[in-house]
Copies of this chain bind each other. A is one copy, B any other.
């Protein structure tokens, strides 16, 4: 018999394990498998969209078991197992096939993937929602908001000097951040469905917006490229080759979101420039921020964040280091990187 204390401990472990993944199209999810005495014998987590779900990861680490043994096992998972065949098969079915006796889950799944608990029950596996789901809701509080609002999960990237500048007065900005920071940002690109820049960045910097490995190879997954703004784009623009790009002729972030939804982009990376990034931050649409800081003080030039409607300190947007993340505060070469999430809404 598993005690309440053992369930609480297993949920804490599942929450910690969840932080080894990345939020995006999918939320962070962690899972534990307990033996009949309540000892944790396997853990699993979801790396991110396209990778196995946490339950599958835990079952793989557990390995094959005789049916009689599997019936004695309990799984604790931070989110209700899915009942949905997406890029991976449904977890509820895999759990039944593995023969697990009892599943406890923290947060019920209200998305298109819901119904996992019912599936389990109708196939001989007990399924129980845990009494306290608050920490598991907190783990993905912004992801749930994005889902509720029917929009992509939005990551905003800021790359700046220590004093919050993105260039010097003459516009020079190349190599503000380190190689390690740029590699980190390319790995981030490889995880998202779409990247957004403004027309000025597209035209002046003329980036390809591809996701590249440190040795310059293309990652297997490449993001869709979105450009927002009303200016016409030159035909020879680096990012405008092929057909995996589009322009949203608007300065309204909500029009970008409508278009991203039409395109099926569940995870959008807002790369810049400062005006575009600031518009998403000001609209409370930055679900997470990666802030790369190069160790220099420029003392003049453009600021990384400009919110013209700020008049007093209460107008500021408040964040916290992402406590679930293993990389909430890291050194990247000579730079530092902060992984931030907005403070939960009251």
Decide yes or no whether A317 CB sits under 8 A from chain B: yes
| CB pair B170 A312 closer than 8 Å | yes
CB < 8 Å neighbour of A299 from B172, B306, B319, B338: B306
Stretch binding the partner chain, chosen from A83-91, A123-131, A157-165 = A157-165
Q: What string of 1s and 0s marks CB contacts (under 8 Å) between A300-343 and chain B? A: 11011111101111111111110000000101001010101000
Decide yes or no whether A282 CB sits under 8 A from chain B: yes
For the complex formed, measure the closest distance between the CB of A59 and the CB atoms of chain B, giving whole angstroms.
36
| CB pair B331 A316 closer than 8 Å | no
Which residues 138-173 of A sit at the B interface, judged by CB distance below 8 A?
158, 160-165, 167-170, 172-173
State in angstroms the CA–CA spacing of A288 and B306 once bound together: 29
A313 contact set on B, CB distance < 8 A: 167-168, 172-176, 298
| CB pair A319 B168 closer than 8 Å | no
**Assuming the A-B contacts A168-B316, A297-B319, are A303 and B162 also in contact, with contact meaning beta carbons closer than 8 angstroms in the complex?**
no
State in angstroms the CA–CA spacing of A93 and B176 once bound together: 50
CB < 8 Å neighbour of A316 from B299, B305, B318, B340: B299
State in angstroms the CA–CA spacing of A188 and B336 once bound together: 23
Which residues 170-198 of A sit at the B interface, judged by CB distance below 8 A?
170, 172-176
Residue of B nearest to A307 (CB): B299
A319 contact set on B, CB distance < 8 A: 162, 295-297
| CB pair A160 B168 closer than 8 Å | no
A175 contact set on B, CB distance < 8 A: 313
Decide yes or no whether A269 CB sits under 8 A from chain B: no
State in angstroms the CA–CA spacing of A88 and B158 once bound together: 49
State in angstroms the CA–CA spacing of A82 and B168 once bound together: 46
| CB pair A306 B310 closer than 8 Å | no
Decide yes or no whether A210 CB sits under 8 A from chain B: no
Residue of B nearest to A336 (CB): B329
CB < 8 Å neighbour of A164 from B163, B169, B314: B163
Number of copies: 2
Decide yes or no whether A281 CB sits under 8 A from chain B: yes
State in angstroms the CA–CA spacing of A315 and B298 once bound together: 7
| CB pair B295 A163 closer than 8 Å | no
| CB pair A299 B312 closer than 8 Å | no
State in angstroms the CA–CA spacing of A281 and B281 once bound together: 31
Interface centre among A164, A278, A308 (most CB of B within 10 A): A164
**Assuming the A-B contacts A316-B161, A340-B295, are A310 and B301 also in contact, with contact meaning beta carbons closer than 8 angstroms in the complex?**
yes
Interface centre among A165, A299, A305, A308 (most CB of B within 10 A): A299
For the complex formed, measure the closest distance between the CB of A163 and the CB atoms of chain B, giving whole angstroms.
4
State in angstroms the CA–CA spacing of A297 and B304 once bound together: 10
A176 contact set on B, CB distance < 8 A: 313
Since A168-B316, A297-B317, A298-B315 are in contact, a sample of 4 more A-B pairs with Cβ atoms closer than 8 Å, ordered by chain A residue number, is A160-B163, A164-B303, A168-B312, A170-B311
Residues of A near any B CB (own CB < 8 A): 158, 160-165, 167-170, 172-176, 278, 281-282, 291, 295-301, 303-308, 310-321, 329, 331, 334, 336, 338, 340
Mind listing 10 A-B residue pairs with CB under 8 Å? Answer: A162-B340, A172-B312, A172-B313, A282-B299, A299-B306, A299-B307, A299-B317, A301-B310, A329-B329, A329-B331
